């Protein structure tokens, strides 16, 4: 795949190792959920490396000083339902004060087009850093729709985190929203005729929630 600006592919061995465990069809729901959370922590650490800091006054046991802190409340974590929910606890472990919004989208099984059924974002949204979570970026339809909703409601500063992405999805999201920084755990080969990522990990929502 060609290198696209604003797309960051993770190369950390821990992330790659954990993605391999997710790919294994023998990995059960319990372990799958735990590993998705761990990957979200590792990817979040990378994706949030440019968070702004401001100095506050702090009193140490030795003396008073000025020292940098982040403003956690200015961050909105927005999972795309259902599968994005599996990544929320990982991001909240990093930024416990973050607000959490939700976008409900499902893909039509035949057309693969996304359909919205829910959208609730923390208000006001325009001043926050918004981190959208979905483990799978396949055709990119759901991601583009999710970012459309956020922008329609005033969101400006948006990052998108996906554990596995297809080149088609990356291209589609980047073409529609070149301003959105995209963090990807691994770029897989292609989509199959059912728009599943190959080799991928199957249906992320079903594997996180134990449905079929």
Q: Using the rule CB under 6 A, is 39 a contact of ligand URA?
A: no
Q: Which of residues 166-205 bind ligand PRP (CB under 6 A)?
A: 169, 195, 203-205
Q: Residues 23, 153, 171, 203: which is the catalytic one?
A: 203
Contact status, residue 160 vs residue 173, Cβ threshold 8 Å:
yes
Distance CA(157)–CA(154), nearest Å, equals 10
Q: Which residues contact 188 (CB under 8 A, 6 or more apart)?
A: 164, 165, 166, 197, 198, 199, 200
- Which residue among 89, 203, 211, 212 contacts ligand URA (CB under 6 A)? 203
String of contacts with ligand PRP for each residue 89-128, x by CB under 6 A: ----------------xxx----x-x--------------
- Residue 146's contacts (CB-CB under 8 Å, 6 or more residues apart) are 78, 80, 103, 105, 132, 134
The single residue among 39, 48, 83, 133 that binds ligand PRP, judged by CB under 6 A, is 83
Q: What letter does residue 63 receive in the DSSP assignment? A: -
Q: Does residue 176 have a cis peptide bond before it, meaning omega lies within 30 degrees of 0?
A: no
* Residue 136 touching ligand PRP (CB under 6 A): yes
Pairwise CA distance, residues 161 & 6, whole Å: 12
- Single out the catalytic residue among 23, 107, 153, 171: 107
Phi, psi of 101 (to 5 degrees): -105, 175
- Which residue lies nearest ligand PRP, judged by its C-beta? 205
Residues that bind ligand PRP (CB under 6 A): 80-83, 105-107, 112, 114, 134, 136-143, 169, 195, 203-205
Residues that bind ligand URA (CB under 6 A): 83, 136, 138, 196-197, 200, 203-205
């Amino acid at each position: 795949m060609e290198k696209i600006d604003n797309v960051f592919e993770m190369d950390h061995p821990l992330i790659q190792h954990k993605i391999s465990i997710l790919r294994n069809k023998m990995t059960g729901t319990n372990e799958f959920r735990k590993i998705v959370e761990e990957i979200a922590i590792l990817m979040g650490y990378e994706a949030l490396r440019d968070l702004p800091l401001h100095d506050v006054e702090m009193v140490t046991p030795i003396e008073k000083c000025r020292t940098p802190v982040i403003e956690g409340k200015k961050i909105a974590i927005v999972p795309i339902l259902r599968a994005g929910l599996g990544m929320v606890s990982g991001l909240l472990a990093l930024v416990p004060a973050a607000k959490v919004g939700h976008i409900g989208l499902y893909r039509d099984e035949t057309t693969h087009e996304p359909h919205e059924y829910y959208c609730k974002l923390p208000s006001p949204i325009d001043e926050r850093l918004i981190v959208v979570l979905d483990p799978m970026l396949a055709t990119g339809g759901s991601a583009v729709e999710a970012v459309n909703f956020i922008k329609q409601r005033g969101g400006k500063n948006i990052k998108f985190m996906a554990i596995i992405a297809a080149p088609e999805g990356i291209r589609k999201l980047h073409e529609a929203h070149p301003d959105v920084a995209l963090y990807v755990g691994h770029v897989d080969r292609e989509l199959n005729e059912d728009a599943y990522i190959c080799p991928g990990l199957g249906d992320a929502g079903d594997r996180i929630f134990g449905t079929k």
